[in-house]
Amino acid sequence: MEKKIVAGIIGLEFGRAHLEGALAYGAEIGLICDCDEKALKFAGEKYDIPEEKWTLDYHDIINNKEINAVSIGIPDQLHKQVAIEMLEAGKHVLCEKPLALTKEDVAEIVQAAKKSGCVFMVGQICRFTPSFVKTKELIESGALGELYFVESEYAHDYMNIVSNKQNWRSDDARHGVIGGGCHAVDLLRWLAGDPEEVFAYGTHKLLPTVSYDDSTIAIMKFPNDIAGKVYVSTGCKRDYTMRTVIYGTKGTVICDNTSPTMQVFTIGEDGLAHDPEIIELEVNNHNFVKEFEVFADSIVNGTPCPTPAEEGAKTVAACIAIVESATTGKIVKPDYSFCE
């Protein structure tokens, strides 16, 4: 068990959320890294990190014996290489979602994480989003009764990003369902279990510069007779949201990840649900501070990591099944065989 966290943060665009999490936790910052000088300078100055702790080369993190916890916030296609190098160097890893984009890469990371004995956490951030955490508590308390239908969506317009053909999100392998849609899929897996069958239908009207569908609807069969639906749009003309509705025999939750409140309907003595309870949320978005705290707690206190490589792997497996179904027009049973 480690006594304290000395963090190395790789990737300083979105990865700054991990840096903020590490600082809020009180971790010592060993090194921050970005191969882009501007991104490195911006983050270094913004968070007042001394210049001797800036590096353009992530190998400096491998060679720094003090650093024991590494966050990986770089393009999805690079997760495998960097994650495995860090694990081989004995570093604990917090890796951004999706774990990787292909079965082969996912399987290699899972095996490397197992072999290393290090904590490996996939940043499935929805498991720390206050509205979704509250929903999980309501399910587990029995307040909603038995679940029978769960739905979530990932709607996020990538048009400005992928109009640059050089951007890594334009890559054929970075299908919107795996890249961003994995948030909604992971959320439903967490709330309802591993999908057993999926059927999906995709369309492509919004993002002419990419090869993959920009709108996908998937119907899913979950264990315990629960039906589910995931909708993914990466070209939608609206603001970003993950609207989510969870239906149980005794109540219903309506929430998302960007509103300050959520609605909870539960039945009264007449068996009907009248006015919803409106619950105010402390953080009305993803909670990266909590995510880092849980990662650090696994390293320092040995508390079980909630999203080890195997969990991130199963989410990718379910996403791959959705893409396969939308491509073939057939019902697909997700293949989880490479996830353990």
Ligand X SMILES: NC(=O)c1ccc[n+]([C@@H]2O[C@H](COP(=O)([O-])OP(=O)(O)OC[C@H]3O[C@@H](n4cnc5c(N)ncnc54)[C@H](O)[C@@H]3O)[C@@H](O)[C@H]2O)c1
Residue numbers at the binding site for ligand X (CB under 6 A): 10-15, 33-36, 39, 58, 73-76, 78, 96-97, 123, 125, 179, 286
**Least distance from C-beta 252 to ligand X, angstroms?**
26
Tokens standing for 68? 């024991």
Measure the CA–CA gap between 39 and 26, rounded to whole angstroms. 23
10 vs 322, beta carbon nearer ligand X: 10
Tokens standing for 197? 């069958």
221 vs 243, beta carbon nearer ligand X: 243
**Least distance from C-beta 284 to ligand X, angstroms?**
14
**Least distance from C-beta 159 to ligand X, angstroms?**
15
317-to-9, 127, 218 alpha-carbon distances in Å: 27, 18, 14
Specify the 3-state DSSP secondary structure of 332.
strand
Give, as one character, the DSSP assignment of residue 117.
-
12 vs 107, beta carbon nearer ligand X: 12
**Least distance from C-beta 126 to ligand X, angstroms?**
8
**Least distance from C-beta 147 to ligand X, angstroms?**
25
First-to-last alpha carbon distance for the chain, in angstroms, is: 24
**Single-letter residue type at 136:** K
96 vs 213, beta carbon nearer ligand X: 96
Give, as one character, the DSSP assignment of residue 152.
E
35 vs 273, beta carbon nearer ligand X: 35
Give, as one character, the DSSP assignment of residue 284.
S
Specify the 3-state DSSP secondary structure of 244.
strand
Tokens standing for 147? 């679940």
**Least distance from C-beta 74 to ligand X, angstroms?**
4
136 vs 221, beta carbon nearer ligand X: 136
CA count, 13 A, side-chain hemisphere, 239: 4
**Least distance from C-beta 76 to ligand X, angstroms?**
5
Measure the CA–CA gap between 301 and 126, rounded to whole angstroms. 23
Taking CB positions, which residue lies at the least distance from ligand X? 14
264 vs 316, beta carbon nearer ligand X: 316
116-to-88, 300, 311 alpha-carbon distances in Å: 7, 17, 17
Residues forming a β-bridge with 218: 200, 230
